[in-house]
Structures are given as C-alpha cells and as structure tokens.
Structure 1
Amino acid sequence: MRLKLVIFDVDGTLVDSQGLIVEAMDLAFTGEGLTPPARQATLGIVGLSLDAAIFKLYPEGAPDLRARLVEGYKAGYMQRRAALGVAQSSPFFEGARETLMRLNTREDVVLGVATGKSRRGLDKLIEGHDLKGVFVTTQVSDDHPSKPHPSMIETALAEAGVAAQDAVMIGDTSYDMDMAAAAGVTGIGVDWGYHPNAELRAAQKIVASFQELEDTLTGIWEHQ
C-alpha cells in the first residue's frame, strides 16, 4: 500500500476567513493613518507570509512602517477572532469538514497543511474547529520562505514520509499552485477561494466542490 499525502491550504480553501482578514488589514492601515487597500487587493495577498503580503500591498512604505503594519494586522486579527470566535470568524466552506473526516479515516491517506498563517494562528484554528490529530504535518509561515517557494511542501513530504508523486496540494491561490509545481506535486485548485480561476494557471485540475475534489482524488489514485 502506497501512502498518499493530501496537503491543504487553509484560508480560502478549508475556511472562509475573508471578512476577518479584510477587517484586520483595514485596522492595521487606519491605525497608521493610511488608506486601507481595496478589498480585492487584500484578498489577493492571502496565502503569502504576512511580511511579504504587506510589502506587496504597500511597497513604498519604509521598513519600520511596514513592520508596524504587520504588528497592527496581527493585533487586529487576534482581537476580532477573540470577539467572534473561530467558528464565526473562519467558518468551514460547505463540505470541508466532512471531506477531511472521510479522508482521515483512510488507512492509505495522511493529511497535511501548508499555510501562510503563523503557528499560533493555525493552532487556534485547529483548536477552534476541533481538528486536533487530523493533520500529520503542519507547515506555517514562521518556519519557511513565503509561498510559492516549495519549502513547505518539501518539508511536509519529508515529515510524512511520502514521495512527491504520491502527494497533492489543494489551494485557492496562484501561490498554492505555483508552490505545488515547484515541489513537483499535483496541484488541485478550488474555485470558491480568493483568486479567480484564470490565475490558477499552474493547477492540474480546478474543482467546484468538495465532492468533486474527492472524486478527483479517487481518479488520480486509481491511475497510480
């Protein structure tokens, strides 16, 4: 039996945290007396590590100002998450939990995460959604270069003991799909996230639901 690794992005793929992300970014910029980025601009950086995201949104800012924006975002995010709770601030997309649970029961499949979140942020989400023990490998921005660098996937493969040809990366952004391509794993894009389908050029398949995702995985594995 060949072990298979399914790696998930988080924001925009498993959970819909766009309201929380946009509000936190608005708070960070207004806190520095700046005009917040447009909503679509903020959603366009989801998946990047926070320092890379801020640089992309405000490249003309001095380094110390960008550092304050990073801290302002973190503070605003934690404040709003605490006020709303994880289930309300980052709810599952329809079918996400059920798919995770079904995949988790398979003896030939292990699950992982590769996210631009911090370790603290991911741990809070896993705790809030009662996902402890579901993922055998969790890769976060604290420990790696920002996506689309392949470091997160390469480390996940090593930790899970799975070869690249037996792994898939599932995500909603071009950063996820470019990372998958750079790591030599199959990239599956989802169309309910924060980047339009046209930007998921490196994806080998784009799915429109978690049921279609499960069917796609079955098809891939049947031909291995």
Structure 2
Amino acid sequence: MNKYELLIFDWDGTLVDSIGHIVESILFAAADCELPALDEASIKGIIGLGLPEAIAALYPEVSDERTVEAFRRAYADHYLSLEAEPSVLYPGVAEALRAFRGHGYFLAVATGKGRRGLDRVLAGHGWGDFFDVTRCADETLSKPNPQMIHEILAHCGVGPERALMIGDSVFDLEMARRAGVDSVAVTYGAQPLEVLQACMPCLAIKHISELGDWLCSTDSLAEVVAHVG
C-alpha cells in the first residue's frame, strides 16, 4: 500500500523552468509603471504568490488601483511575449510525471498562475487533460492560504495525510503545512535551500528523479508496516 495517493505540484520553478521569464516580466512592468527596479532575489522571493499579492509584497507603497492594474497588464503582456513558445520542462519532469501516473498516483497542480495562463501552457505541452485537477490563484485563494489544497483533496477524495505537496517556494510549503499535508522542497527553482528548510519539508530534492526514488522507499516502508500490522 502506498503512503501517498496524491502528488500536488507547483508549476513555475518546480515543473517548468520559467523563473527567468517571471523576473524579467516583473522588471519590465516596474519600469513601465515608473516604479523602482528591485533586485532579482527580492523578485524570486515572491514567486508562487498570485500576481496581486506579489505586487503588494514587492511594492507595498502602491495602493492606487490604476497603477496596480497597469502593472498587471504590463507584466501579463510581456510574459506572454516571452512565452510565445512555452518555457521548457526541467530535465526528467515529463518522464517522472508519466511514471507517477503509471504507478497510480493522482496528479494535481496548485499554482500562482491565472487560469488562462495555466491552460495555455498546459495545452502548449500537450497536457490539457493530463492532471486530475488543477487550481489557480485567480479562481481560489492565493498561497499560502491552504484553500487550493483543500479543493484538490476534495476533488480527489483523498485525506491530507495521503497527499504530498512539491514546490520551490516557502508559499508552497507553508500552504501544505496549513493544510496538514507533507511537503517536498525543490531546490532548483526560485528559492534557496536554506530558506525552504525553515518550513521543515520531508525532503529536499535537486532533481525530480530524487522524488521518485524517495516515494519508492516510503512505499516500501508502508508495505512492510502493513504486513507486520
């Protein structure tokens, strides 16, 4: 018997190498709105949030709705131009996801992207109906609020103790903690290991293949415990 039934993945920085495009688009939107340019580390620190929450975190002094909307449009237009050809998957991701599917896991995405953006990139990768369920920041509450995970669990009929969240930001891992779900930290994405470790993930990985190896070991342990029991 498997310890986990449901694997929930963040998108940007976890499955797809799109961090550079996000940083560039934030910088473009800031310049377009005549806001101060921020350093790359600060911008990477908000990746995972919904765009309105990200703008508020980066520029708390900006409260004018027209400026926020102008920033959002500039960001979206520039990001779409960069993503005319969708960002590539990280090495091994496609193979790992197919293997997880073959082993019977439910697969889900919980992302700070908007629904239109996620559907576009899923279609671009030929994954329009690959995942069992996806949730986006503009159709529920933004990370780290656990609502995305609650909705995914309900859709799949899986309890929190049987689900695993995989992500590259503290927002992913904190969302999992609030939902009572175990987490895995991805260290090749937006945020460094020392930041992610503060959230006490079950595992930190440098390559997606390490997740498969670890799941096999936890599944083997679950089999032994069930047999002994």
- Secondary structure in 2 matching 1:135: coil
Answer with 63-72 or 173-182: which moved more.
63-72
- Of 185, 188, 193 in structure 2, the residue corresponding to residue 189 of structure 1 is 185
Q: Which residue of 1 aligns with 2:220?
A: 222
Cα pair 1:58 1:66 within 8 Å, conserved? no
> What's the offset of the Cα at 1:39?
1.5
Give the TM-score taking structure 2 as reference length.
0.90
> What's the offset of the Cα at 1:166?
0.9
Would you say how many aligned residue pairs link Structure 1 and Structure 2?
218
Name the larger-Rg structure.
2
Cα pair 1:150 1:179 within 8 Å, conserved? yes
| Counterpart-to-counterpart distance in 1, 2:177 and 2:220 | 21
> What's the offset of the Cα at 1:63?
2.7
| Counterpart-to-counterpart distance in 2, 1:67 and 1:59 | 14
Cα pair 2:110 2:148 within 8 Å, conserved? yes
Amino acid at match of 1:19: G
Amino acid at match of 2:12: D
Q: Which residue of 2 aligns with 1:177?
A: 173
> What's the offset of the Cα at 1:188?
0.5
Q: Pairwise CA RMSD of aligned residues?
A: 1.5
Cα pair 2:19 2:189 within 8 Å, conserved? no
Residues 1-224 of structure 1 correspond to what in structure 2 (within 5 A)? 4-64=5-65, 65-82=67-84, 85-86=85-86, 90-107=87-104, 109-200=105-196, 201-202=198-199, 203-224=201-222
Write out per-residue CA displacement over residues 85-119 of structure 1, whole angstroms, 9 at most, x where no aligned residue.
Answer: 11xxx111111111011111223x11000000000
Cα pair 2:184 2:203 within 8 Å, conserved? yes
> What's the offset of the Cα at 1:62?
2.6
- Secondary structure in 2 matching 1:206: strand
Amino acid at match of 2:14: T
Write out per-residue CA displacement over residues 178-215 of structure 1, whole angstroms, 9 at most, x where no aligned residue.
Answer: 11111111101111011111111221211121121111
Write out per-residue CA displacement over residues 100-154 of structure 1, whole angstroms, 9 at most, x where no aligned residue.
Answer: 11111223x1100000000011111111111122200101001222111100111
> What's the offset of the Cα at 1:170?
0.3
Amino acid at match of 1:146: S
Uncovered stretches (5+) of structure 1, i.e. residues with no partner:
none
Write out per-residue CA displacement over residues 141-177 of structure 1, whole angstroms, 9 at most, x where no aligned residue.
Answer: 0122211110011100001111111110000111111
